[in-house]
Structure 1
Amino acid sequence: MIVALIIACEAGFWVLLAVGLALRYLARMPRTGAAVLLLEPLLELVLLIVTAIDLKNGAQADWKHGLAALYIGFTVAYGHYMIKWADGHFLHRFAGGPPPVRPPKYGMPRARHELKLWLRTVLGMAVAAALLQIAVWYVGEDGDIASLRGTQGAAARILLIHGVIALSYLLWPRKDPDQGRTATSTTETEPGPTRKTLR
Protein backbone atom coordinates (compact mmCIF):
# COMPACT_ATOMS: atom_id res chain seq x y z
CA MET A 1 0.00 0.00 0.00
CA ILE A 2 2.79 2.45 0.91
CA VAL A 3 4.69 1.81 -2.33
CA ALA A 4 1.50 2.26 -4.38
CA LEU A 5 0.84 5.53 -2.58
CA ILE A 6 4.38 6.76 -3.27
CA ILE A 7 3.87 6.01 -6.98
CA ALA A 8 0.49 7.75 -6.87
CA CYS A 9 2.05 10.80 -5.17
CA GLU A 10 4.77 11.01 -7.82
CA ALA A 11 2.21 10.72 -10.62
CA GLY A 12 -0.01 13.24 -8.85
CA PHE A 13 2.90 15.67 -8.58
CA TRP A 14 3.39 15.77 -12.34
CA VAL A 15 -0.34 15.84 -13.07
CA LEU A 16 -0.88 18.81 -10.75
CA LEU A 17 2.19 20.50 -12.21
CA ALA A 18 0.93 20.08 -15.79
CA VAL A 19 -2.61 21.21 -14.91
CA GLY A 20 -1.36 24.19 -12.90
CA LEU A 21 0.96 25.41 -15.65
CA ALA A 22 -1.67 24.84 -18.34
CA LEU A 23 -4.18 26.94 -16.39
CA ARG A 24 -1.56 29.58 -15.76
CA TYR A 25 -0.31 30.06 -19.32
CA LEU A 26 -2.69 28.38 -21.78
CA ALA A 27 -6.01 29.21 -20.13
CA ARG A 28 -4.74 32.60 -18.90
CA MET A 29 -5.91 31.84 -15.35
CA PRO A 30 -2.79 32.57 -13.29
CA ARG A 31 -4.50 32.59 -9.90
CA THR A 32 -6.25 29.30 -10.48
CA GLY A 33 -3.02 27.79 -11.80
CA ALA A 34 -1.12 29.00 -8.73
CA ALA A 35 -3.81 27.52 -6.48
CA VAL A 36 -3.41 24.13 -8.17
CA LEU A 37 0.37 24.29 -7.76
CA LEU A 38 -0.09 25.05 -4.06
CA LEU A 39 -1.83 21.68 -3.70
CA GLU A 40 1.48 19.89 -4.34
CA PRO A 41 2.56 19.74 -0.65
CA LEU A 42 -0.74 18.05 0.23
CA LEU A 43 0.47 14.92 -1.56
CA GLU A 44 3.43 14.56 0.80
CA LEU A 45 1.18 15.33 3.77
CA VAL A 46 -1.19 12.53 2.76
CA LEU A 47 1.74 10.12 2.37
CA LEU A 48 3.07 11.10 5.80
CA ILE A 49 -0.33 10.62 7.46
CA VAL A 50 -0.95 7.24 5.79
CA THR A 51 2.54 6.03 6.75
CA ALA A 52 1.97 7.07 10.38
CA ILE A 53 -1.44 5.36 10.45
CA ASP A 54 0.08 2.22 8.96
CA LEU A 55 2.66 2.07 11.75
CA LYS A 56 0.04 2.88 14.39
CA ASN A 57 -2.13 0.00 13.19
CA GLY A 58 0.67 -2.41 13.99
CA ALA A 59 2.40 -2.75 10.63
CA GLN A 60 5.99 -3.90 10.92
CA ALA A 61 8.40 -1.08 10.10
CA ASP A 62 10.26 -2.02 6.94
CA TRP A 63 11.88 -0.60 3.81
CA LYS A 64 8.55 0.77 2.51
CA HIS A 65 8.28 3.20 5.41
CA GLY A 66 11.91 4.17 4.92
CA LEU A 67 11.26 4.78 1.21
CA ALA A 68 8.32 7.01 2.12
CA ALA A 69 10.57 9.10 4.38
CA LEU A 70 13.21 9.45 1.63
CA TYR A 71 10.55 10.44 -0.89
CA ILE A 72 9.09 13.10 1.41
CA GLY A 73 12.57 14.47 2.11
CA PHE A 74 13.38 14.62 -1.60
CA THR A 75 10.17 16.46 -2.49
CA VAL A 76 10.64 18.95 0.36
CA ALA A 77 14.14 19.76 -0.89
CA TYR A 78 13.65 19.59 -4.66
CA GLY A 79 9.91 20.13 -5.19
CA HIS A 80 10.05 23.92 -5.58
CA TYR A 81 13.21 23.64 -7.70
CA MET A 82 11.47 21.25 -10.11
CA ILE A 83 8.34 23.42 -10.28
CA LYS A 84 10.47 26.49 -11.08
CA TRP A 85 12.33 24.54 -13.77
CA ALA A 86 9.11 23.32 -15.39
CA ASP A 87 7.56 26.80 -15.14
CA GLY A 88 10.48 28.36 -17.04
CA HIS A 89 10.29 25.79 -19.85
CA PHE A 90 6.48 26.02 -20.07
CA LEU A 91 6.60 29.82 -20.17
CA HIS A 92 9.15 29.77 -23.00
CA ARG A 93 7.42 27.12 -25.08
CA PHE A 94 3.77 28.11 -24.75
CA ALA A 95 3.69 31.75 -23.63
CA GLY A 96 6.49 33.40 -25.58
CA GLY A 97 8.70 33.85 -22.55
CA PRO A 98 12.49 34.07 -22.62
CA PRO A 99 14.53 30.88 -22.91
CA PRO A 100 15.06 29.30 -19.49
CA VAL A 101 18.44 29.94 -17.95
CA ARG A 102 20.54 26.81 -18.17
CA PRO A 103 22.87 25.86 -15.34
CA PRO A 104 26.53 26.71 -15.97
CA LYS A 105 28.71 23.95 -17.37
CA TYR A 106 32.25 24.99 -16.56
CA GLY A 107 34.55 26.42 -13.91
CA MET A 108 33.58 27.90 -10.57
CA PRO A 109 30.01 28.80 -11.67
CA ARG A 110 29.35 25.08 -12.19
CA ALA A 111 30.99 24.26 -8.84
CA ARG A 112 28.70 26.77 -7.07
CA HIS A 113 25.68 25.30 -8.85
CA GLU A 114 26.61 21.78 -7.71
CA LEU A 115 27.13 23.05 -4.15
CA LYS A 116 23.63 24.55 -4.12
CA LEU A 117 22.18 21.23 -5.30
CA TRP A 118 24.11 19.40 -2.59
CA LEU A 119 22.70 21.77 0.05
CA ARG A 120 19.24 20.81 -1.17
CA THR A 121 20.21 17.17 -0.71
CA VAL A 122 21.38 18.02 2.83
CA LEU A 123 17.92 19.44 3.55
CA GLY A 124 16.15 16.45 1.99
CA MET A 125 18.19 13.85 3.83
CA ALA A 126 17.85 15.78 7.10
CA VAL A 127 14.05 15.72 6.74
CA ALA A 128 14.13 12.01 5.89
CA ALA A 129 16.43 11.21 8.82
CA ALA A 130 14.19 13.16 11.20
CA LEU A 131 11.06 11.33 10.02
CA LEU A 132 12.85 8.00 10.36
CA GLN A 133 14.00 8.88 13.88
CA ILE A 134 10.44 9.75 14.86
CA ALA A 135 9.37 6.36 13.50
CA VAL A 136 12.15 4.68 15.53
CA TRP A 137 10.95 6.37 18.71
CA TYR A 138 7.37 5.44 17.91
CA VAL A 139 8.14 1.77 17.29
CA GLY A 140 10.46 1.66 20.31
CA GLU A 141 13.78 -0.04 20.84
CA ASP A 142 12.01 -3.31 21.58
CA GLY A 143 10.46 -3.36 18.10
CA ASP A 144 12.06 -4.21 14.77
CA ILE A 145 13.76 -0.95 13.77
CA ALA A 146 16.62 -2.44 11.75
CA SER A 147 15.13 -1.38 8.41
CA LEU A 148 14.54 2.17 9.68
CA ARG A 149 18.13 2.42 10.91
CA GLY A 150 19.27 0.97 7.59
CA THR A 151 17.38 3.66 5.68
CA GLN A 152 19.00 6.33 7.87
CA GLY A 153 22.34 4.87 6.83
CA ALA A 154 21.24 4.96 3.18
CA ALA A 155 20.34 8.64 3.57
CA ALA A 156 23.82 9.33 4.96
CA ARG A 157 25.42 7.49 2.03
CA ILE A 158 23.35 9.42 -0.49
CA LEU A 159 24.46 12.65 1.15
CA LEU A 160 28.10 11.55 1.14
CA ILE A 161 28.10 10.41 -2.49
CA HIS A 162 26.45 13.61 -3.69
CA GLY A 163 28.91 15.61 -1.59
CA VAL A 164 31.88 13.87 -3.23
CA ILE A 165 30.42 14.59 -6.68
CA ALA A 166 29.88 18.27 -5.81
CA LEU A 167 33.39 18.53 -4.35
CA SER A 168 34.89 17.08 -7.53
CA TYR A 169 33.60 20.08 -9.49
CA LEU A 170 35.44 22.35 -7.06
CA LEU A 171 38.72 20.42 -7.00
CA TRP A 172 38.78 19.56 -10.71
CA PRO A 173 36.68 22.23 -12.43
CA ARG A 174 35.69 21.51 -16.00
CA LYS A 175 37.26 23.88 -18.50
CA ASP A 176 35.35 25.48 -21.33
CA PRO A 177 36.81 24.06 -24.57
CA ASP A 178 35.64 27.10 -26.52
CA GLN A 179 37.72 29.38 -24.31
CA GLY A 180 40.97 27.75 -25.45
CA ARG A 181 39.94 27.93 -29.10
CA THR A 182 39.03 31.60 -28.72
CA ALA A 183 42.42 32.41 -27.21
CA THR A 184 44.22 30.50 -30.00
CA SER A 185 42.16 32.22 -32.66
CA THR A 186 42.92 35.64 -31.17
CA THR A 187 46.65 34.90 -31.14
CA GLU A 188 46.62 33.75 -34.76
CA THR A 189 44.78 36.85 -35.99
CA GLU A 190 46.96 39.39 -34.17
CA PRO A 191 48.81 41.52 -36.75
CA GLY A 192 52.55 41.06 -36.78
CA PRO A 193 55.08 43.89 -36.75
CA THR A 194 55.06 45.92 -39.93
CA ARG A 195 58.15 46.84 -41.89
CA LYS A 196 57.74 50.44 -40.72
CA THR A 197 57.74 49.33 -37.07
CA LEU A 198 60.90 47.30 -37.56
CA ARG A 199 62.67 50.35 -38.89
Structure 2
Amino acid sequence: MNLIVWLIIFCEIAFWVVILLGLVTRYIFKKKTLGLFFLALTPVIDLILLITTSVDLINGATAEIPHAIAAVYIAVSLVFGKSMIKWADDRFRYYVMKEGPKPNKPVGLAYAKHYAKSWLKHLLSYFIGTGILHLIIYFIHDKNRTEAMDGVIHLWTIVIIIDLIICISYFVWPPKEKKHH
Protein backbone atom coordinates (compact mmCIF):
# COMPACT_ATOMS: atom_id res chain seq x y z
CA MET A 1 0.00 0.00 0.00
CA ASN A 2 1.21 3.49 -0.73
CA LEU A 3 1.65 6.36 1.72
CA ILE A 4 -1.71 7.96 0.94
CA VAL A 5 -3.61 4.75 1.77
CA TRP A 6 -1.83 4.53 5.13
CA LEU A 7 -2.47 8.22 5.74
CA ILE A 8 -6.20 7.83 5.09
CA ILE A 9 -6.31 4.86 7.49
CA PHE A 10 -4.33 6.85 10.06
CA CYS A 11 -6.62 9.88 9.69
CA GLU A 12 -9.80 7.82 10.07
CA ILE A 13 -8.46 6.13 13.21
CA ALA A 14 -7.09 9.43 14.55
CA PHE A 15 -10.49 11.08 13.97
CA TRP A 16 -12.25 8.59 16.25
CA VAL A 17 -9.37 8.47 18.75
CA VAL A 18 -9.44 12.24 19.31
CA ILE A 19 -13.23 12.14 19.64
CA LEU A 20 -12.98 9.34 22.21
CA LEU A 21 -10.17 11.19 24.04
CA GLY A 22 -12.29 14.34 24.00
CA LEU A 23 -15.33 12.56 25.43
CA VAL A 24 -13.38 10.64 28.09
CA THR A 25 -11.51 13.80 29.10
CA ARG A 26 -14.72 15.85 29.15
CA TYR A 27 -16.98 13.45 31.03
CA ILE A 28 -14.85 11.02 33.01
CA PHE A 29 -11.97 13.32 33.99
CA LYS A 30 -14.24 16.42 34.10
CA LYS A 31 -11.72 18.49 32.09
CA LYS A 32 -14.08 20.30 29.71
CA THR A 33 -11.45 22.60 28.16
CA LEU A 34 -9.01 19.76 27.48
CA GLY A 35 -11.88 17.68 26.11
CA LEU A 36 -12.83 20.50 23.76
CA PHE A 37 -9.17 20.73 22.68
CA PHE A 38 -9.18 17.05 21.65
CA LEU A 39 -12.49 17.48 19.78
CA ALA A 40 -11.06 20.55 18.02
CA LEU A 41 -8.22 18.41 16.63
CA THR A 42 -10.55 16.76 14.11
CA PRO A 43 -10.15 19.52 11.48
CA VAL A 44 -6.36 19.39 12.01
CA ILE A 45 -6.45 15.74 10.93
CA ASP A 46 -8.26 16.76 7.73
CA LEU A 47 -5.68 19.48 7.12
CA ILE A 48 -2.82 16.96 7.47
CA LEU A 49 -4.49 14.69 4.92
CA LEU A 50 -5.16 17.57 2.53
CA ILE A 51 -1.58 18.89 2.68
CA THR A 52 0.04 15.48 2.34
CA THR A 53 -2.17 14.46 -0.59
CA SER A 54 -1.57 17.81 -2.32
CA VAL A 55 2.20 17.58 -1.89
CA ASP A 56 2.17 14.01 -3.24
CA LEU A 57 0.28 15.12 -6.37
CA ILE A 58 2.35 18.28 -6.85
CA ASN A 59 5.49 16.12 -6.72
CA GLY A 60 4.24 14.19 -9.75
CA ALA A 61 2.33 11.25 -8.31
CA THR A 62 -0.38 9.78 -10.49
CA ALA A 63 -3.73 10.53 -8.88
CA GLU A 64 -4.99 7.12 -7.80
CA ILE A 65 -8.12 5.97 -6.00
CA PRO A 66 -6.57 6.66 -2.55
CA HIS A 67 -6.04 10.31 -3.59
CA ALA A 68 -9.69 10.47 -4.63
CA ILE A 69 -10.81 8.81 -1.42
CA ALA A 70 -8.82 11.43 0.50
CA ALA A 71 -10.90 14.13 -1.22
CA VAL A 72 -14.11 12.26 -0.39
CA TYR A 73 -12.97 11.77 3.23
CA ILE A 74 -12.17 15.47 3.63
CA ALA A 75 -15.54 16.54 2.18
CA VAL A 76 -17.53 14.09 4.31
CA SER A 77 -15.56 15.04 7.41
CA LEU A 78 -16.14 18.75 6.81
CA VAL A 79 -19.88 18.34 6.34
CA PHE A 80 -20.66 15.50 8.77
CA GLY A 81 -17.86 16.01 11.33
CA LYS A 82 -19.84 18.14 13.78
CA SER A 83 -22.91 15.86 13.64
CA MET A 84 -20.71 12.74 14.05
CA ILE A 85 -19.16 14.30 17.15
CA LYS A 86 -22.63 15.16 18.50
CA TRP A 87 -23.81 11.61 17.75
CA ALA A 88 -20.83 10.16 19.65
CA ASP A 89 -21.26 12.69 22.47
CA ASP A 90 -24.96 11.87 22.97
CA ARG A 91 -24.29 8.12 23.07
CA PHE A 92 -21.25 8.41 25.32
CA ARG A 93 -23.19 10.57 27.77
CA TYR A 94 -26.17 8.20 27.84
CA TYR A 95 -24.60 4.73 27.57
CA VAL A 96 -21.28 5.29 29.39
CA MET A 97 -21.98 8.13 31.82
CA LYS A 98 -25.66 7.16 32.35
CA GLU A 99 -26.60 10.85 32.01
CA GLY A 100 -29.10 12.74 29.93
CA PRO A 101 -31.90 11.52 27.70
CA LYS A 102 -31.67 8.40 25.58
CA PRO A 103 -30.59 9.33 22.04
CA ASN A 104 -33.67 9.83 19.90
CA LYS A 105 -34.47 7.41 17.08
CA PRO A 106 -37.13 9.09 14.97
CA VAL A 107 -39.81 7.01 13.24
CA GLY A 108 -42.39 7.65 10.56
CA LEU A 109 -42.39 11.02 8.85
CA ALA A 110 -39.89 12.37 11.42
CA TYR A 111 -37.40 9.72 10.24
CA ALA A 112 -38.03 10.63 6.60
CA LYS A 113 -37.35 14.31 7.38
CA HIS A 114 -34.23 13.40 9.36
CA TYR A 115 -32.97 11.27 6.46
CA ALA A 116 -33.73 14.10 4.01
CA LYS A 117 -31.57 16.49 6.06
CA SER A 118 -28.83 13.88 6.06
CA TRP A 119 -29.18 13.48 2.29
CA LEU A 120 -28.81 17.24 1.84
CA LYS A 121 -25.58 17.04 3.86
CA HIS A 122 -24.49 14.15 1.64
CA LEU A 123 -25.24 16.33 -1.40
CA LEU A 124 -23.16 19.18 0.07
CA SER A 125 -20.25 16.82 0.76
CA TYR A 126 -20.66 15.50 -2.81
CA PHE A 127 -20.33 19.03 -4.21
CA ILE A 128 -17.30 19.78 -2.04
CA GLY A 129 -15.64 16.43 -2.74
CA THR A 130 -16.26 16.40 -6.47
CA GLY A 131 -15.19 20.05 -6.55
CA ILE A 132 -11.87 19.04 -4.99
CA LEU A 133 -11.56 16.17 -7.47
CA HIS A 134 -12.30 18.48 -10.42
CA LEU A 135 -9.68 20.94 -9.12
CA ILE A 136 -7.13 18.13 -8.99
CA ILE A 137 -8.02 17.15 -12.57
CA TYR A 138 -7.77 20.78 -13.67
CA PHE A 139 -4.43 21.49 -11.99
CA ILE A 140 -2.74 18.24 -13.02
CA HIS A 141 -4.12 18.67 -16.55
CA ASP A 142 -3.08 15.19 -17.63
CA LYS A 143 -5.87 12.66 -18.25
CA ASN A 144 -3.42 9.77 -17.81
CA ARG A 145 -2.61 10.91 -14.27
CA THR A 146 -6.22 11.64 -13.21
CA GLU A 147 -8.32 8.73 -14.53
CA ALA A 148 -9.04 7.52 -11.01
CA MET A 149 -10.59 10.89 -10.14
CA ASP A 150 -13.17 10.52 -12.93
CA GLY A 151 -13.99 6.99 -11.76
CA VAL A 152 -14.65 8.12 -8.19
CA ILE A 153 -16.75 11.08 -9.39
CA HIS A 154 -18.90 8.72 -11.50
CA LEU A 155 -19.26 6.21 -8.66
CA TRP A 156 -20.16 8.92 -6.14
CA THR A 157 -22.74 10.31 -8.57
CA ILE A 158 -24.41 6.90 -8.69
CA VAL A 159 -24.28 6.65 -4.88
CA ILE A 160 -25.86 10.10 -4.39
CA ILE A 161 -28.69 9.17 -6.79
CA ILE A 162 -29.32 5.86 -5.00
CA ASP A 163 -29.28 7.70 -1.66
CA LEU A 164 -31.89 10.15 -3.04
CA ILE A 165 -34.11 7.24 -4.11
CA ILE A 166 -33.80 5.77 -0.60
CA CYS A 167 -34.61 9.19 0.87
CA ILE A 168 -37.76 9.52 -1.26
CA SER A 169 -38.80 5.95 -0.36
CA TYR A 170 -38.89 6.92 3.33
CA PHE A 171 -41.52 9.55 2.54
CA VAL A 172 -43.57 6.96 0.63
CA TRP A 173 -43.04 4.13 3.14
CA PRO A 174 -41.97 5.74 6.44
CA PRO A 175 -40.36 3.33 8.91
CA LYS A 176 -42.65 2.29 11.72
CA GLU A 177 -41.74 1.96 15.38
CA LYS A 178 -40.57 -1.55 16.25
CA LYS A 179 -42.94 -3.35 18.60
CA HIS A 180 -41.32 -5.02 21.56
CA HIS A 181 -42.78 -8.43 22.49
Q: Same fold (TM over 0.5)?
A: yes
Q: Which residue of 1 aligns with 2:149?
A: 148
Deviations 1:139-171 (A, max 9, x none): 114553221111111221121111111110012
* Paired residues of 1:63 and 1:147 also in contact (CA < 8 A): yes
Q: Distance in 2 between matches of 1:177 and 1:32?
A: 40
Q: Which residue of 2 aligns with 1:159?
A: 160
* Paired residues of 1:139 and 1:145 also in contact (CA < 8 A): yes
Amino acid across the alignment from 2:114:
H
Root-mean-square deviation (Å): 1.6
2:70 to 68, 71, 74: 68
* Paired residues of 1:89 and 1:99 also in contact (CA < 8 A): no
Q: Distance in 2 between matches of 1:32 and 1:142?
A: 46
Map residues 89-100 of structure 1 onto 2, 5 A cutoff. Answer: 89-100=91-102
Cα pair distance change 1:157/1:142, threshold 3 Å: closer
* Paired residues of 2:122 and 2:160 also in contact (CA < 8 A): yes
CA deviation after TM superposition for structure 1 residue 177, in Å: 6.7
Q: Which structure 1 segments of 5+ residues have no match?
A: 179-199
Q: Distance in 2 between matches of 1:110 and 1:129?
A: 28
Q: Distance in 1 between matches of 2:177 and 2:51?
A: 48
Task: Give the number of aligned pairs.
Answer: 177
Q: Distance in 1 between matches of 2:37 and 2:167?
A: 35
Task: State yes or no: 1:45 paired with 2:35.
Answer: no
CA deviation after TM superposition for structure 1 residue 92, in Å: 1.9
Q: Distance in 2 between matches of 1:129 and 1:173?
A: 31
Q: Which residue of 2 aligns with 1:122?
A: 123
Map residues 9-24 of structure 1 onto 2, 5 A cutoff. Answer: 9-24=11-26
CA deviation after TM superposition for structure 1 residue 176, in Å: 4.4
Amino acid across the alignment from 1:21:
L
CA deviation after TM superposition for structure 1 residue 103, in Å: 2.3
Map residues 161-176 of structure 1 onto 2, 5 A cutoff. Answer: 161-176=162-177
Identity %: 34
1:145 is paired with a residue whose SS is: helix
CA deviation after TM superposition for structure 1 residue 101, in Å: 2.5
1:31 to 25, 33, 45: 33
Q: Which residue of 2 aligns with 1:78?
A: 80
Q: Distance in 2 between matches of 1:176 and 1:39?
A: 37
Q: Which structure 2 segments of 5+ residues have no match?
A: none
Q: Distance in 1 between matches of 2:175 and 2:97?
A: 34
Q: Which has the larger radius of gyration?
A: 1
Q: Distance in 1 between matches of 2:176 and 2:95?
A: 31
* Paired residues of 1:2 and 1:51 also in contact (CA < 8 A): yes
Q: Which residue of 1 aligns with 2:103?
A: 101
Amino acid across the alignment from 1:53:
V
Compute the TM-score of the two structures, normalised by the length of structure 2.
0.91
